[in-house]
Amino acid sequence: MAAVATFDISQRAASVGDFIALLKPRVMSLVVFTGLAGIVVAPGEVHPMIAFTALLCIAVAAGASGALNMAYDADIDALMSRTASRPIPVGRIARQEALFFGWALSGASVTVMGLFVNFVAAALLAFTIFFYVGVYTLWLKRRTAQNIVIGGLSGALPPAIGWAAVTGDLSIAPLLLVLITFLWTPPHFWALALFRSDDYARAGVPMLPVVSGKTSTRRQIFLYSLLLVPAGIAPAFAGIGGALYATVACVFGALFLVGAAAVLRETDDVREPAARNLFKISLLYLFVLFATLIAEHLLGLQPLASWI
């Protein structure tokens, strides 16, 4: 255990792939995608290079946050089967290297956003990094079962950052996109926590299934899903979603609720098949909703609000 806690492992040379792994590329891709939606649905024109720069800064900031999260949570990662093979626990990258890498990328992303896009987008980007690293990673994650709920704000902000990159301000419309991702985060991660609860318990992370039990977690997943579905439909009535989006949001919202109801009735506490299924549904749900928004705007389809 002492070897794990101090990472007393003979260090192997880090590869480019190890530093890419620090960036959490799968998480980064989702953040970039929702940020792209904010750029595409925002009113007005934006130069392609400005849009590209904004997306690049969002991607780099997300990767930087991931690297800092891995550095500060290296002791936890070493104890969890899902994360034990990450570059820091296995000794390919030193914790201090990851910290330098993450903070350097953070500073660069915010600076470039401020200089080449606008200061509103840069301020939101800086807040996102601060909230994910300072509030979620260093404070909430190890102290409260509501870590995912509160900390989810950082992962929900990219659509607002993308919108601000185009308009230089915020409005209700991008905040609805933020709300969707914010409400999506608890059922998504708690579904994962249900079938990974032993991992979290072993690492001492107070995820909801560990602290309150699986029955309470299932209820919370269902309650958040009930809030998520109408929030997912709302953009159709806020001037940024059309008839296609409304249809897709209703269909996939119903699919999400069916999955959440199955989790609520779940009796297999070992394999958690319903929770595993909802985890997959949740990924598809968020992707399809934002992809539909992007497609509608690129195709020039009229918002549903203009028909009413």
Domain extent at residue 16: 11-170
3-state secondary structure of 303: strand
Query: What is the CATH number for 52?
Result: 1.10.357.140
* Structure tokens belonging to residue 243: 């008839």
pLDDT band (50, 70, 90) for residue 11: low
- Say what percent of the chain tops pLDDT 70: 94
Query: pLDDT (tens digit, 9 = 90+) per residue, 222-243?
Result: 999 999 999 999 999 998 999 9
The answer on pLDDT for 75 being more than 80 is yes
Do residue 262 and residue 305 come from a single domain?
yes
- Of 170, 199, 219, which marks where a domain is finished? 170
71 within a domain of the structure (yes/no): yes
Say how many domains are in the chain: 2
Enclosing H/E stretch for 49: helix 48-72
Instruction: Using the predicted structure, report yes or no on whether residue 10 has a pLDDT greater than 70.
Output: no
Is residue 197 in a domain?
A: yes
- Last residue within a domain, chosen from 144, 170, 196: 170
Read off the pLDDT band of 97 (50, 70, 90).
Answer: very high
What lies within 8 Å, CB to CB, of 248 at 6+ separation is 288, 289, 292
Tell me the one-letter amino acid at 37.
A
- The pLDDT score that the predictor gives to residue 144 is 94
Residues 154 and 52 placed together within one structural domain of the fold: yes
Q: What is the pLDDT of residue 305?
A: 65
State yes or no: pLDDT of 5 exceeds 90.
Answer: no
Q: Last residue of a domain, which of 151, 170, 189?
A: 170
Comparing 6-10, 221-225, 241-245, which segment has the lowest mean pLDDT?
Answer: 6-10
Same domain, 196 and 52: no
User: Taking Cα atoms as reference points, which of 307, 297, 223 lies closest to residue 37?
Assistant: 297
Question: Pick from 150, 148, 155: which is nearest to 129 by CA?
Answer: 155
Q: Do both 150 and 41 map to the same domain? A: yes
